[in-house]
Amino acid sequence: MSETKGTRVVVVGGGFAGLATASRLAKEPVQVLLLDRKNHHTFQPLLYQVATAGLSPAEIAAPLRSIVSDRGNTEVLLCEVSGFDLERKIVFACGAEVPFDYLVVAAGARHSYFGHDEWERLAPGLKTVEDALEMRRRILTAFEDAERQAALHGHHDDLNFVIVGGGPTGVELAGTISEIARQALVDDFHSIDPKRTRVILVEAGPRVLATYPPDLSQSAEEQLKKLGVEVRTNTRVTAVKEHEIDMDNEVLPTAVTLWAAGVAASPLGRALGQPVDNAGRVPVFPDCTLPGHPEVFVLGDLAAFKDEQGKMLPGVAPVALQMGKYAAECIVADLQRQPRKPFHYNDRGSLATIGRAAAVAQFPKFKLTGYPAWLAWLFIHILFLIGFRNRILVMIEWAWSYFTYDRGARLITDEVGRLRERRSSPDSEVPGPVPMESVERRRA
Amino acid sequence: MSETKGTRVVVVGGGFAGLATASRLAKEPVQVLLLDRKNHHTFQPLLYQVATAGLSPAEIAAPLRSIVSDRGNTEVLLCEVSGFDLERKIVFACGAEVPFDYLVVAAGARHSYFGHDEWERLAPGLKTVEDALEMRRRILTAFEDAERQAALHGHHDDLNFVIVGGGPTGVELAGTISEIARQALVDDFHSIDPKRTRVILVEAGPRVLATYPPDLSQSAEEQLKKLGVEVRTNTRVTAVKEHEIDMDNEVLPTAVTLWAAGVAASPLGRALGQPVDNAGRVPVFPDCTLPGHPEVFVLGDLAAFKDEQGKMLPGVAPVALQMGKYAAECIVADLQRQPRKPFHYNDRGSLATIGRAAAVAQFPKFKLTGYPAWLAWLFIHILFLIGFRNRILVMIEWAWSYFTYDRGARLITDEVGRLRERRSSPDSEVPGPVPMESVERRRA
């Protein structure tokens, strides 16, 4: 490590937290290396729009390189991180040893099937662009299959869409699929019987949107029902099968089952060598660092952070964004030999959308439901979308689909049939430590 | 078959020819059933833009249902056609027997590897959205791999992009990839050595764009070289290997090899039970029908049609569009008991784009090269793009990328790791003939 090269900050994960850290450090005298196994940041709050064919992947995802391209101190590498050696201050990544002065681990979460991993194949979750494309393929293919069956044979199987989990993602998916079934696709599928097309939202707890106040849950449930969604609360799923779902008191045939019920933190949490909680999250100190490692931050969905009232912070984008910025500020404070302040989450409110012009919103001083909540949701999400270009395109898409009921991204593409081989990476031999000089910008 | 139900036209394939037939028949007293195994029409002339991350799939592909949704006499089914019984006037599709009065077979073409099918895995071609996404993934991943290698180890392997085939698609791919390598991505990849980044276009014949006049080929080659493409004419490929290509006089290491060298007509041509030519195309009469079957049209890339001078019509969009419209007019003429006119291809000119502001254009009375040719290409393609919505979005994308050198759709997504099972279709039992009544619109 050469003194003149400055402090080396390695960020694992290009989600909200990791990008916020890199952003806040852009003008500081540090070198940032951002590692992610995807080449793009995914705007997860809008993934359900890709899953339901309202938006294209490129409208809610942006290449990490183009996000950081104007920052002279940030390098991006497409890389799978396999582990850490915190004592030697090393990240094992792409078969190399990458040294750090500060480490920011913000690797996010995947969905969890509560010990039933075999359900994933039958009921995919929604965390990545690929997940969303898979959901889109299943939803559209189900309509096509029913249409073909009805056209050729005069009838079709029950076209039941079952969404497991009544959190924000489950509510968004159920509301939007019901809208597609009842409005937008009526024009296109002439043989499908609307009466045999149902959308069922299953929630194990007593109400949907359990993290919201009860009256907003109530409103959400009413708005869902108005859209034609059947809401089953207090209902546990006991088995997910091929074209069938078993619940406490009911067995339903299914065309598509989608999973929005649980999340588990990235396995990289365990790789830090500290105890993790039931959801795989890493308990952190009030400054978001690991015990005994003030130079190692764990952020976002991967962190188990209890606020001043002992309440666990939820795995949502605002928490991740604020944590990311906070970690960067801690690093800056260290460099300036200032004390770190503890992290405080500034909860500006929560919004959940339900469908076209339907939503609930909870702000610190007031609540909204229905159309006003939806407008608030729309503008906040567009404002937060990364990249001016995406903002414009998303606005056009939405304006278009709002006025025409058209869902423009309604393509079924399937790459599974494509033969493909990954280029075997010459990085697979493990070389020695990497001097940071070599990851400097050549043009600098 | 019920007389009151009108004439049944079954169209196989939702490409330019099939859609043109369905369009022209929209207001005629016939029933149209459009069968395709994809749910979308693909605007093939712009596929290379998806392959090179300039456009998103939804910008060059439109769901067939939304294209025909305002036509009361057209039904779309997502369906694999397995064969025909021309004597019984039956199409075998989705495990059912679909009867027809007229049959329009416009199933298009795939790429051909001249007996080396094992090369497909190593050098993908470009005919579908999935093909384009696979090319995009390989191109972007190659840049990421080289960047990571260089950043972690101080050097990277030769980053050679080899495009096989100097027709329009090969020229477009070579020019665009070279632009990406030399301009747009320089901002993003700081460790890659531009000197070790090469784009090589290999053509077995003596010149690129062999179907154009020699001076335009010459111009295209010069424009390619100006963009940094190495053009190897009179060079045959003898072997495609993992990370290597063998040519007559040269062996090159490769990062990505792309195939734009040959096409073979859909196997459905053979399934018609008539002799086919070397490329699998079906020789047709001057009215685009099969010998002995005036009710069976074969159109577009699948047809071997010789014009009045005995020249084979090329497999391009304008030929397919005109054939599609022509077949519909023959059907209308039959219904009105008028004689059919023979098909005449009205060649309005050809355009091939080479890169940003580079192209060649051949019109009946004049030729263009460079920027004017590119402008002509741009406007003609935008005008032809199906659907107003797409047109607007594509124009914004292009304006944006023209002024900013940004390539917005630069996402690497990979669905191969996703577990997925296809819903086993209940259509797989073969039922009896299908009464056309059952494919009528329910709402009618």
Residue-wise pLDDT for A325-342, tens only, equals 999 999 999 999 999 999
Q: Cα distance from A394 to chain B (closest Cα, Å)?
A: 10
Q: Which residue has the higher pLDDT, A435 or B40?
A: B40
Question: What percentage of residues in chain B have a pLDDT greater than 70?
Answer: 84
User: Which of these ranges, A299-308, B48-57, B105-114, has the smallest mean pLDDT?
Assistant: B48-57
Evaluate whether ipTM surpasses 0.95.
no
Q: Say if residues A7 and A331 touch (Cβ distance below 8 Å).
A: yes
Q: Which residues of B touch A401 (CB under 8 A)?
A: none
Identify the CA nearest to B211 among candidates B309, B298, B311, B124: B311
The fraction of chain A above a pLDDT of 90, given in percent, is 61
Give residue B396's pLDDT: 61
Residue with tokens 């630069």: B410
Least-confidence region, from A277-286, A418-427, B77-86: A418-427
Give the 3-state DSSP-derived string for chain B, with helices as H, strands as E and coil as C.
CCHHHCEEEEEECCCHHHHHHHHHCCCCCEEEEEEECCCEEECHHHHHHHHCCCCCHHHHEEEHHHHHCCCCCEEEEECCEEEEECCCCEEEECCEEEECCEEEECCCEEECCCCCHHHCCCCCCCCCHHHHHHHHHHHHHHHHHHHHHHHHHCCCCCEEEEEECCCHHHHHHHHHHHHHHHCHHHHCCCCCCHHHEEEEEECCCCCCCCCCCHHHHHHHHHHHHHCCEEEECCCCEEEEECCEEEECCCEEECCEEEECCCEEECCCCHHHCCCCCCCCCEECCCCCEECCEEEEEECHHHEECECCCCCECCCCHHHHHHHHHHHHHHHHHHHCCCCCCCCCCCCCCEEEEEECCEEEEECCCCEEEHHHHHHHHHHHHHHHCCCHHHHHHHHHHHHHHHHHCCCCCCCCCCCCCCCCCCCCCHHHCCCCECCHHHHCCCCC
User: Would you put residue A337 in left (φ > 0), alpha (ψ -120 to 50) or beta?
Assistant: left
Closest chain B C-alpha to A337 CA, distance in angstroms:
31
Interface touch B129/A413, C-beta < 8 Å: yes
Q: Annotated catalytic residue: which of A28, A59, A147, A172?
A: A172
**pLDDT for position A184:** 58
More confident residue, B304 or A441: B304
Quick one: pLDDT band at residue B55, thresholds 50, 70, 90?
A: confident
Question: What average pLDDT does this structure show over A205-225?
Answer: 95
- Chain B partners of A121 at a C-beta cutoff of 8 Å? 419-421
Q: Quick one: pLDDT at residue B168? A: 94
Structure confidence at residue A426 as a pLDDT band (50, 70, 90)? very low
Closest CA to B269 of B310, B243, B305, B235: B305
- B-chain CB neighbours of A57 within 8 Å are 56, 411, 413
Prediction pTM value: 0.84
In this complex, which of B58, B69, B416 lies closest to A408 when CB atoms are compared? B58
pLDDT of residue B389: 55
- Whether residue A238 is predicted with pLDDT greater than 70 in this model: the reply is yes
pLDDT category of residue B2 using cuts at 50, 70 and 90 = very low
Confidence of residue A231 (pLDDT cuts 50, 70, 90): very high
pLDDT number for residue B421: 29
- What pLDDT shows up at residue B392? 59
Taking contacts as CB-CB distances below 8 angstroms, the residues of chain B near A157 are 426
In angstroms, the CA B232 to CA B420 distance is 42
Question: What is the crossing angle of helices B168-182 and B214-226, to 10°?
Answer: 20
Q: For the ranges A237-246, A425-434, B68-77, B405-414, which has the lowest average pLDDT?
A: A425-434
Q: What is the pLDDT of residues A18-59, one digit of tens each?
A: 999 999 999 999 999 999 999 999 988 889 989 998 888 888
In this complex, do B96 and A439 lie within 8 Å of one another by their Cβ atoms?
Answer: no
pLDDT band at A202 (very low <50, low <70, confident <90, very high): very high
Sheet holding A256-259, edge to edge: A229-232, A197-202, A159-164, A256-259
In this prediction, residues B287-307 reach a mean pLDDT of: 96
The answer to whether B243 and B255 are in contact (CB under 8 A) is: yes
Question: What integer pLDDT is reported at residue A28 of this predicted model?
Answer: 94
**Closest-CA residue to A171 (of A183, A160, A179):** A179
Taking CB atoms and an 8 Å limit, are B154 and A438 in contact across chains?
A: yes
Tokens in use for A341? 């302040």
For residue A97, give the chain B residue with the closest CA. B152
Q: Which residue has the tokens 């399934």?
A: B271
User: A173 with B115: CB under 8 angstroms?
Assistant: no
pLDDT of B416 above 70: no
Optimal mutation site among A60, A134, A395, A442, interface B, most CBs of chain B within 10 A:
A442
Per CB-CB distance under 8 Å, the chain A contacts of B161 are none
CB contact under 8 A, A417 and B61: no
Q: Which residue of A has its CA nearest to B96?
A: A152
Q: Catalytic annotation on A80?
A: no
Contact between B69 and A38 using a beta-carbon 8 Å cutoff: no
CB-CB under 8 Å, B152 with A427? yes
Q: What is the mean pLDDT of residues A108-134?
A: 93
Encoding tokens for residue A213? 């106040």
Instruction: Out of B28, B59, B134, B172, pick the active-site residue.
Output: B172
Match 């709050």 to its residue by tokens: A45
pLDDT tens track for B343-370: 999 988 888 889 877 889 888 888 889 8
Share of chain A above pLDDT 70, in %: 84
Closest to A134 in 3D by CA, of B52, B423, B140: B423
Tell me which residue in A57, A133, A410 faces B63 most closely, judged by beta carbons. A410
* Pairing, β A30-36 against β A40-42: unpaired
Query: Is the model's pLDDT at B54 over the cut of 80?
Result: yes
Is the model more confident about A363 or about B234? B234
Rounded Cα gap, residues B275 and B269, in angstroms: 9
Picking from B30, B35, B105, B104, the residue whose alpha carbon sits closest to that of residue B65 is: B35
Report chain B residues whose CB lies below 8 A from the CB of A434. Answer: 152-153
Give residue-wise pLDDT tens across range A354-366: 987 788 988 888 8
- With an 8 Å Cβ cutoff, are A147 and B78 in contact? yes
Closest chain B residue by Cα to residue A191: B442
- Contact: A412, B78; criterion CB under 8 Å: yes
Of A130, A393, A427, the CB nearest to B418: A130
Give the whole-angstrom CA distance, residue B161 versus residue B181. 10
pLDDT range class, residue A308, cuts 50, 70, 90: confident
Which of A39, A75, A393 is opposite residue B190, by nearest beta carbon? A75
d(CA A42, CA A59): 10
Q: How many CB pairs under 8 A join A and B?
A: 234
- Least confident range from A194-208, A276-290, A410-424, B383-397: namely A410-424
A442–B148 C-beta distance less than 8 A: no
Which of B140, B439, B443 is best to mutate for the A interface (most A CBs within 10 A)? B439
Interface test with B, best of A32, A41, A385, A410 (most B CBs within 10 A): A410
The region of weakest confidence among A2-11, A243-252, B389-398 is B389-398
Query: Does the pLDDT value for residue B81 go beyond 50?
Result: yes
pLDDT of residue A162: 98
- Nearest residue to A149 (alpha-carbon basis) of A160, A140, A158: A158
When CB atoms are compared, the residue of A144, A416, A423 closest to B39 is: A144
Apex CA B97: angle with CA B92 and CA B101, to 5°? 90
Q: What is the pLDDT of residues A75-90, one digit of tens each?
A: 999 999 999 999 999 9
- Compute CA distances A407 → A50, A148, A261, A398, whole Å: 10, 20, 26, 9
Report the residue of chain B nearest A53, measured CA to CA: B58
Interface test with B, best of A78, A110, A440 (most B CBs within 10 A): A78
B333's CB contacts (< 8 A; 6+ apart) are B339, B340, B341
**Both tokens assigned to B383:** 């005008």
- Does B296 have pLDDT greater than 90? yes
Of B121, B133, B150, the CB nearest to A413: B133
Dihedral sign from CA coordinates of A111, A114, A118, A119: negative
> Shortest CB distance from A411 goes to which of B39, B120, B443?
B39
State the Cα–Cα distance between residues A90 and A191, nearest whole angstrom. 60
